[in-house]
Copies of this chain bind each other. A is one copy, B any other.
Amino acid sequence: MNRRAFATDLAAGLGAATLAGAAMAQTAQPQPRIMGGAITDVPGIKVGHFTETRRPTGCTVILTEEGAVAGVDVRGAAPGTRETDLLNPSNMVQQVHAILLSGGSAFGLEAATGVVRWLEEKGIGFPAGPARVPIVPAAILFDLTVGDHRIRPDAAAGYAACQAATDQAPGEGSIGAGTGATVGKLFGVARAMKGGIGTASLKVGAITVGAIVAVNAVGDVIDPSTGQVVAGARDVEGRNPIGTTTAILRGELPASMQAGMATTLGVVATDAMLTKAQCQRLAGSAHDGLARTIDPIHTMSDGDTIFTLATGKSGKSGNMMALGAIVPHVMAAAVLRAVRAAKAIGPSPPGASELG
């Protein structure tokens, strides 16, 4: 079964799973488990990666060439962003044409220039007098510790990501904005594990919800269905995850960290018809998906930022109660896929599948 079909059938599949579980009526139902799908299952969404080969960094563009209503919620304490103020529901512009997620710390914001250039060449943008101005909100993550920090995504990288964009399920793991991502950094990068980028989707009734996330956290990644660490800070021998918060509580001292040493970046997309304010709220809901899968999250060294895109292509208004319940689970699934797919690149730390 391909990923798109899996996503489409998942709602029905969950129903079947529940019926099959009727015999174990004394056990409370577990939380929904979302295993597949991609943000490109949402009509109107394309994704393209640029992966730098000289050192682990890169960027990922989420294209909405026909425009999409958008929102953002910045919850980490060390963000690096561009064009987020216009997403305030009280501000004028209603639609964006792309979201860029990039490595390279604040330098990586330059990659948005390449996305703007590519869109301008296509004649895509907000009509403003003689010009069409592409609206490209962007956010960056910190990945300057491995290799030559002077190499970071630039305008050419953003342009290349647009050229690579398709409506097919994007690659996951150590690719695009996830190329240089790591997790479990509170006790130093030497004890960290590889982060990456992941995606997931779910169709409920007529509405599709997808997410993509570049997981590059101070914290550990936790599977919320078991409470176990999937990838995170390892013991001093570099063998096993220690549980970062547990280690703090027994008095292990964090490594010296500076603001912006981490940051998890995500996009939620749906084909529901939503307002900017509704998009903003769903971005907040998606942060709850980060809270359930990353611990600690939203720290002083994470600039965690999530955007929402609503393409409206279903022609249906979204049920905000249902969307608000589902979005965190889709985001959580994307987080788990990101670290499960991540592989070491050169001197970077090992991925979850490479440990032990």
Q: Chain B residues near A188: list those with CB within 8 A.
A: none
- Point out the residue from B29, B322, B329 that lies within 8 Å of A241, measured CB to CB: B29
How far, in Å, is A303 (CB) from chain B's closest CB?
Answer: 13
Bound-state Cα–Cα, A30 to B18, Å? 27
Check: A91 CB closer than 8 A to any chain B CB.
no
Is A301 in the interface zone, CB < 8 Å from B?
yes
A284 proximal to B (CB < 8 A): yes
Q: Does A317 contact B (CB under 8 A)?
A: no
Determine whether A53 belongs to the interface, using a CB cutoff of 8 Å to chain B.
Answer: no
Stretch in contact with the other chain, from A103-111, A117-125, A149-157, A218-226: A218-226
Q: Are B14 and A296 neighbours in the complex by a CB distance under 8 Å?
A: no
A204: chain B residues within 8 A (beta carbon): 248-249, 251
Nearest CB in chain B to that of A289: its residue = B291
A320 nearest in chain B by CB position = B300
Query: Once the chains bind, are B18 and A250 in contact (CB under 8 Å)?
Result: yes
The yes or no answer to A20 lying at the interface (CB within 8 A) is no
The interface bits of chain A over 217-256 (1 if a CB of B lies within 8 angstroms of the residue's CB, else 0) are 0110010111111101000000111111110111100100
Q: Are B250 and A15 in contact (CB under 8 A)?
A: yes
Determine the chain B residues whose CB is within 8 A of the CB of A55 once the complex forms. Answer: none
| Binary contact readout A9-28 vs B (1 if CB under 8 angstroms, 0 otherwise) | 01110110010000001111
Q: A interface, how many residues as a size bin?
A: 35 or more
A77 to B224, CA, bound (A): 25
A326 in contact with B249 (CB, 8 Å): yes
Given the interface contacts A31-B222, A240-B28, does A257 sit within 8 Å of B325 by beta carbon?
Answer: no
Is the pair A321, B31 in contact by a Cβ cutoff of 8 Å? no
A285 within 8 A of B: yes
A75 (CB) vs chain B CBs: closest residue: B284
Contact between B328 and A291, CB atoms less than 8 A apart: yes
Check A298–B288 contact: CB distance below 8 A: yes
Q: Determine whether the beta carbon of B281 is less than 8 Å from that of A249.
A: no
User: Is A324 located at the chain interface by the 8 A CB criterion?
Assistant: yes
Q: How far is the CA of A255 from the CA of B300 in the complex (A)?
A: 40
Listed in ascending order, the chain A residues whose CB lies under 8 Å from chain B are 10-12, 14-15, 18, 25-32, 75, 77, 186, 202, 204-205, 218-219, 222, 224-230, 232, 239-246, 248-251, 254, 257, 281, 284-285, 287-288, 291-292, 295-301, 320-322, 324-326, 328-329, 356
A-B pairs with the 3 shortest C-beta distances?
A29-B243, A296-B325, A28-B229
Further contacts, 19 of them, CB under 8 A, given A15-B251, A245-B329, A254-B321: A10-B249, A18-B250, A26-B356, A28-B229, A28-B230, A29-B243, A32-B245, A77-B281, A77-B320, A186-B325, A202-B249, A204-B248, A205-B251, A224-B227, A248-B322, A254-B322, A288-B291, A300-B320, A300-B324
A-B CB contact pairs (8 Å), 30 listed: A11-B250, A11-B251, A12-B250, A14-B246, A15-B251, A25-B239, A27-B228, A28-B228, A29-B242, A29-B246, A30-B228, A30-B243, A31-B295, A32-B243, A32-B245, A224-B227, A225-B227, A226-B226, A227-B227, A244-B325, A245-B326, A248-B322, A248-B325, A249-B326, A281-B300, A288-B291, A288-B298, A292-B292, A298-B324, A299-B324
